[in-house]
Amino acid sequence: MMRVLLWVATLLVALWSGYWFVGKAWVERQFAILLQTAPQQGFLLSESGYSVAGFPNRFDLTVTEPRAKDLRSEIQWEAPFVQVFSLSYSPWHVIAAFAPEQMLRTPAEDITLQNGKLQGSLVVKPGSALTLDRATLVGDAVRAESSLGWTLAAETLRLAVRTDPSRTNAYDLGLELLGLAPDPALAARLPDLPPQISVARLDANATLTAPLDLVLTDIRPELAALTIKEALLTWGGLSILAKGDLQVQDGLPEGRVTVRVNGWRNLVTLATSTGLIRPDLAPMMQNMMQALASSSGDPDVLEMPLTFRNGQMLLGLLPLGPAPRLN
């Protein structure tokens, strides 16, 4: 009897070991495919080396000096390493651990990203395309420092993406930043507000032109529509709430977002300091907001539409300039 049990145990170990090595080869093959097919969607991925370990219960992929560049915008992300882990019996669910310092390079500036802890979770649907089911990103002590001199920090970062099964190529988006500290130079221009934004939150639904597949094809997903269920910023006595629907045409938003502001008097300074409106338009906006707030019945509450039309932005009747490109 003991001999039979030993033989069965040996067979199971051999089968499991064989499964792990087959899985290891599959992980390496999928990563190689990802590197090869990325340019078809306008991305360039590179690394200085990668390896798969974790025998016998995990597949641990470590990528050294990863680089990811969007060839259209020329924005590049780079880091000393990134690690991706999955249990060998559940390879469709992976956990990613990021380096404590990363770099985001744009044509205008370089942004150094630092964090105490930054981890992601990704669940894909089994199949050859590895289509996204849901993903999360959680970070603590996150800080961004630009080569142009500005800084931005947050105590907590939470980001979530989940497939919306009720619509084709649609995804629910959630973003939350707690203890958000804006650049000190900006905070100095707003003496009536505390140094930290207590919460910044976004709850939205995005419709894309193609599904988000981990194995890239020659079809690059583009944003087709965005429903803002709630965008909220609470900063001391200033509270901004926005809701609305946008369509994207040729990369530009079209539609209207309703903006409700409590304690709006710091809003003009904030919009001017962040470049949302030109300084020469600030007095006109101040007067317009004063008139609208006075007619609403509550002088501290302001509600107006933010309209995107023909590539331009208007806040109420006040033109703000060109709308941002979303693709």
Q: Is residue 161 part of a domain?
A: yes
Do 21 and 118 reside in the same domain of the chain?
no
Kindly state whether residues 215 and 268 are assigned to the same domain.
Answer: no
116 and 232 assigned to the same domain: yes
Per the domain annotation, does 248 fall within a domain? no
Q: Does residue 76 lie within any of the structural domains?
A: yes
Q: What is the 3-state secondary structure (H, E, C) of the chain?
A: CHHHHHHHHHHHHHHHHHHHHHHHHHHHHHHHHHHHHHHHHCEEEECCEEEEECCCCEEEEEEECCEEEECCCCCEEECCEEEEEEECCEEEEEEEEECCEEEEECCCCEEEEECCEEEEEEEECCCCCCEEEEEEEEEEEEEEEECCCCEEEEEEEEEEEEECCCCCCEEEEEEEEEEEECCHHHHHCCCCCCCCEEEEEEEEEEEECCCCECCCCCCCCCEEEEEEEEEEEEECCEEEEEEEEEEEECCEEEEEEEEEEECHHHHHHHHHHCCCCCHHHHHHHHHHHHHHHHHCCCCCEEEEEEEEECCEEEECCEEEEECCCCC
- pLDDT at res. 200: 96
The answer on 134 and 34 residing in a single domain is no
Residue 20 within any structural domain of the chain: yes
The answer to whether residues 174 and 113 belong to one domain is yes
For the chain, the domain total comes to: 3
Instruction: Output the pTM of the full model.
Output: 0.86
Q: Based on the domain organization, do 314 and 225 belong to the same domain?
A: no
In a domain, 80, yes or no: yes
Owning domain of residue 220: 109-236
Q: Digits of tens for pLDDT over the chain (327 positions)? A: 565 555 555 555 455 556 667 777 888 888 888 888 888 878 899 999 999 887 888 888 999 999 999 998 899 999 999 999 988 777 889 999 999 999 999 999 999 999 999 999 999 887 666 788 999 999 999 999 999 999 999 999 999 999 999 999 999 999 999 999 999 888 887 878 888 999 999 999 999 998 887 665 667 789 999 999 999 999 988 899 999 999 999 889 999 999 998 888 777 777 777 777 778 877 887 887 787 777 767 777 888 899 999 999 988 877 878 888 887
Same domain, residue pair 5 and 117: no
Domain stop point among 192, 207, 236: 236
Please give the pLDDT value at position 27.
81
Say whether both 259 and 305 belong to one domain: yes
Domain boundary among 62, 90, 118: 90
Q: What pLDDT is stored for residue 13 in this prediction?
A: 46
Q: Do 217 and 262 belong to one domain?
A: no
Are 131 and 17 members of one domain?
no
Is 264 within the bounds of a domain? yes
Indicate whether 230 and 145 sit together in one domain: yes
For position 169, what pLDDT does the model report?
A: 94
pLDDT at 47: 94
